[in-house]
Structure 1
Amino acid sequence: MKGFRDRVVIAGVGYTKFGELWDKSQEDLLVEAVYEALDDAGVEPKEIQAGWCGIQYEFTGLSGGTPAEFLKMYGIPFTRVENFCASGMDAFRNACLGVASGVYDMVLACGMEKLMDQGSRGLPDMGGARSVMMQYPPAPGMFALAATRSFEVYGWNKETLANVAVKNHEHGSHHPKAHFRKAIKKEEVLKAPIICWPLGRFDCCAMSDGSAALIITTPERAKSLKHKHDYVKVLANAISVHTMVPWFHPKYDFIGFPSTQQAGRLAYAQAGIKNPVEEIDFVECHDCFTITELLNIQDLGLCKQGDAGKLVEEGYFSYGGKLPVNVSGGLKCFGHPIGATGCRMLVELTKQLQGRADGLQVKDAKIGLAHNLGGAFTVASVTILGRNDV
C-alpha cells in the first residue's frame, strides 16, 4: 500500500478557541479557522481548488453548500463529510486523496460543529426513524460497558480512570484554546457525580463548539509558501469501520476496539513504522472518556495489554514522559465538537512538529500520531504526520 508519504503535505493550519461560544455562529467559527489557515499557509482563497468539511449534525450544516456559502468559495467542489467522531479526520483523508491522486494541488480540509445552542444535556439525537436493532444507549452507557469489563479483566478501578483525567487536565491547563484550562486533583475526580457507573463527571469529555482547518498541498508547491522550510508531511492515514452494534456480537470482549487496532496496523504499514513506541514521539488520542484513552493506547500498540493504567500513573504518557499522550489536554479539555475534533488534533500535531505549539511543546518532536474513535466503537481513524526531514 503506497499511502500518502512524500506526496501530500500540510502547508498551513488554523483553529478557533473551543468552548461554550454563545456569541459565535457556525459561520463565524469556520471563517475564523479557515482564514487563519490560509494566512498561515500564505495562500489566497482563490487558490483553493476543492474542499472537504467534517460536520456531524444536520443543525450545523447540510451538504458542501454549507462551507461554500460560509466561506464564499463558490464554484469549486465542496463536500460535507460525516463519519461519526472521525468526521473531521475523514475530511482530511479525502483532501489528501485529492492531492495524492494528482487531481488537485491545493485543497482545504476543515471541520466544525455548533453543539451548545441545542440545549441538550448530552449529545443531541441524530433524529429520524431507526430499526429496533439500531437503538443506541447514550455514549456514557456504551463506554461504561468497556470500563466495567476492564475492571474485571485488568484489575483497574476508578482511580485508574482518574489518573487519566488528572493528566489531561494538567496538560490542558497550559493551552490557551482549550475549553477547560484548570488542573484538577484526583480527589475531585473520585468525588464527582456519577454519570454512568463507573464513569463520573470528570471521566467524560464535554460538549463544545469549535472549528479547525488545514491547507493540503504537494511538497513541490509547499516549497514556495510560508512554511517552505517546515511544512509537515502526511506519512499515513487509515480508517477502519466495524459493527455499529457490538453488544449483539457474542465474541465482542469490550476490552479493546477492533476498529482502532486495525486502523493502527494499516497506518503503521503505510508510514513504514515497525516499533511505534520507539518511532512515535507523541500522540493525540481519542479520550471521549477516560477508559477510551486507556484502551486506545493499548490498541495502538503503545504498551502491552493491561499495562496502560499503570503507565499513566507512573507518568509514562505525561508531558515529559517517554511517550506523551494528549499534551493539548485532549477531548477532556477541548470538549468534542464532533466535526471539528479530528482536524483540531491534526492542527495540534502540525504545530508541535514545527516547534510552535500553543500549549506544552514536546521537545524535538519528529513524528506524531492522531486517533479518532466514533460511534459504538464503530469507526477509527489514525493519521501519522512527520517533519519534512523524516
Structure 2
Amino acid sequence: MSSSGIRDRVAVVAMGCTTFGEHWERGADDLLVDAVTDCFADNPRLSRDDVDAYWLATLGSGQSGLTLSKPLALDYKPVTRVENYCASGSEAFRNACYAVASGAYDRVMAVGVEKLKDSGFSGLLRGDPPNDGTAAELSLTAPAAFSLLDPAYCERYGVDRDEFRRAMTHIAWKNHFNGARNPKAQFRSEVPKERIEQAPLVAGRLGVFDCSGVSDGAACAIIVRAEDAHKYTDTPMYVKALSFVAGPARGATDPDFDYTTFPEVVRSANDAYAQAGITDPRTQISFAEVHDCFTPTELVLMEDLGFSDRGQGWKDVLAGDFELSGRLPINPDGGLKSFGHPVGASGLRMLYEAWLQFKGQAGDRQLDDPRTALTHNLGGRPGSCVSFVSVVGSQLG
C-alpha cells in the first residue's frame, strides 16, 4: 500500500483542548465552545470569522454538522461530521488537511468531542453494528478482546507470564507518571506498581489500571497552507504524513491471525513513513502518542510501529526506552490511560501534545528539542479494526 501524501503542504497554526474528565455539569455544546475558545486564545491572530469550513468528529454525541454550528452560532459555514470508530478525531483532522491541500479552502478547523460520562457508557457496554453473525469477536467486550494479546504474545515469543505482567504494569505506571504532570489529564496522580498489579481484574489478566478510562472532552486544530503558516504563528506544526486504513475484518475467522500484531497498524505506519521520508522511525521520530486503550495494546504497537523488534517490545518497555527520559518517549502527555477516551476527541488530543511539545509549552514533561512526532489511533478490536498514523514536525523539509 502506498499513497502520495501531502508532505509539508499544510500546517497547524492553532490548537485548543479542554480538560478531560467527568464533566457532569457540562454538555457536548459546552465542551465544543470551551475547546474552540481555547484554540483562539492560543492564537489571537485568528478569529472564528477566519475559518472557512469545519470537520467535526463524534461517535455518539451528535448528528450532522448542526452539532457544531449550533453551539458556535456559525454563520452558514460548511460543517462535515465524520465518524470512524476510535479514530474519529484523527479522521476529522485528515479530511480537514486534505481540504486545504486541495485548494478548496484557505483556513479550516478540525474539531472532536465526546460526552460519555452521563450517557450510560461504561466501557463494558456495547452497541454492536448489524452483522451477518460470523463476527465472533463482537460477543466480547473490548477489555476481553484486547486481553487476548497477553497470552498470545507470551506463547508466540516464549515470554514468561510474570515478565509480561511486569511489562504491562510498567506501561501503566509510565503513562500515569506522565499524566500526573499534565493539568488537562483526567487522572493526575502517579500510581505505584504494587497498586497496579493488585487492582481488581476486568478481563483476563487486565486489571483496572490496564484499561483506559471513560471521560468527556474536546479538542480542535486550525489548518492552513504551509506557505501561509507564518502569517498566523511563528511556530507552525507541519503535516508530514497522514495514513488511514480499514482492515478486511476477518478477525477470528482468519487462521493466520494470532493476536500478536495489528496488520492495519503495520500497513498505515509503513504508508505514513513512506509519505514522510522516514526510513528509521527509532531515530527519526522524537516522540509518539499512541492508542494505549489497554496496556498490552501499547506494547504490541511498539513492534507494529517499528520502535521495537518483534518479540522484544516487552524488554524495551522494562528497560525504560519509552519513558520521558528514554530513547523514544511514548505518550508523554499520559495517553489514554491518563486522559480516558472521549472517542471523537482523542486523536486531536494526541496532536495537541505534539503542538505543545514543539512550542516548548509542555511544562514538567517537556522534551529536549523535539522535531518530529507520530500520532496513532486504533479503532475496533484485534482482527477487525481501522488504524490512523500521522507524522508531524516543527520544521519544513
Confirm or deny a common fold (TM above 0.5).
yes
- Mapped to 2, the partners of 1:206 and 1:384 lie a distance apart of 26
1:269 correspondence with 2:271 = no
When the two structures are aligned, how many residues end up with a matched partner? 386
- Mapped to 2, the partners of 1:253 and 1:64 lie a distance apart of 40
Could you tell me which residue of structure 1 aligns to residue 173 of structure 2? 166
- Mapped to 2, the partners of 1:27 and 1:37 lie a distance apart of 15
CA deviation after TM superposition for structure 1 residue 242, in Å:
0.5
The residue identity in structure 1 corresponding to 2:341 is H
Contact 2:148–2:204 under 8 Å retained in 1: no
CA deviation after TM superposition for structure 1 residue 129, in Å:
4.8
- Mapped to 1, the partners of 2:118 and 2:179 lie a distance apart of 24
Could you tell me which residue of structure 2 aligns to residue 21 of structure 1? 23
Could you tell me which residue of structure 1 aligns to residue 318 of structure 2? 313
* Secondary structure of 1:234 counterpart: strand
- Mapped to 2, the partners of 1:277 and 1:182 lie a distance apart of 29
- Mapped to 2, the partners of 1:126 and 1:217 lie a distance apart of 37
CA RMSD in angstroms, aligned pairs only:
1.5
- Mapped to 2, the partners of 1:262 and 1:211 lie a distance apart of 28
Match of 1:218 among 225, 233, 244: 225
CA deviation after TM superposition for structure 1 residue 128, in Å:
6.2
The residue identity in structure 2 corresponding to 1:44 is S
Contact 1:232–1:354 under 8 Å retained in 2: no
- Mapped to 2, the partners of 1:123 and 1:141 lie a distance apart of 9
CA deviation after TM superposition for structure 1 residue 6, in Å:
2.1
Contact 2:113–2:344 under 8 Å retained in 1: yes
The residue identity in structure 1 corresponding to 2:8 is D
1:178 correspondence with 2:164 = no
Give TM-score, length-normalised by structure 2: 0.94
Query: Percent of pairs identical after alignment?
Result: 40
1:145 correspondence with 2:152 = no
Could you tell me which residue of structure 1 aligns to residue 393 of structure 2? 386
The residue identity in structure 2 corresponding to 1:211 is A
The residue identity in structure 1 corresponding to 2:149 is A
1:22-61 → structure 2 map (5 Å cutoff): 22-41=24-43, 42-57=45-60, 60-61=61-62
Measured against aligned partners, the alpha-carbon deviations of 1:251-283 in whole angstroms (never above 9, x if no partner) come to 112100001000000000000111111111001
Q: After superposing the two structures, state which structure 1 stretch, 71-80 or 294-303, moved more.
A: 71-80
The residue identity in structure 2 corresponding to 1:15 is C
The residue identity in structure 2 corresponding to 1:107 is V
* Secondary structure of 2:194 counterpart: helix
Give TM-score, length-normalised by structure 1: 0.96
Could you tell me which residue of structure 1 aligns to residue 205 of structure 2? 198
* Secondary structure of 1:382 counterpart: strand
Change (3 A) 1:344 1:358: farther
Structure 1 portions without partners, runs of 5+: none
1:80-99 → structure 2 map (5 Å cutoff): 80-99=81-100
CA deviation after TM superposition for structure 1 residue 245, in Å:
4.6
CA deviation after TM superposition for structure 1 residue 151, in Å:
1.9
1:208-357 → structure 2 map (5 Å cutoff): 208-225=215-232, 227=233, 229-357=234-362
Change (3 A) 1:2 1:244: closer
CA deviation after TM superposition for structure 1 residue 79, in Å:
1.0
Change (3 A) 1:37 1:358: farther
- Mapped to 2, the partners of 1:45 and 1:68 lie a distance apart of 12
- Mapped to 2, the partners of 1:50 and 1:121 lie a distance apart of 33
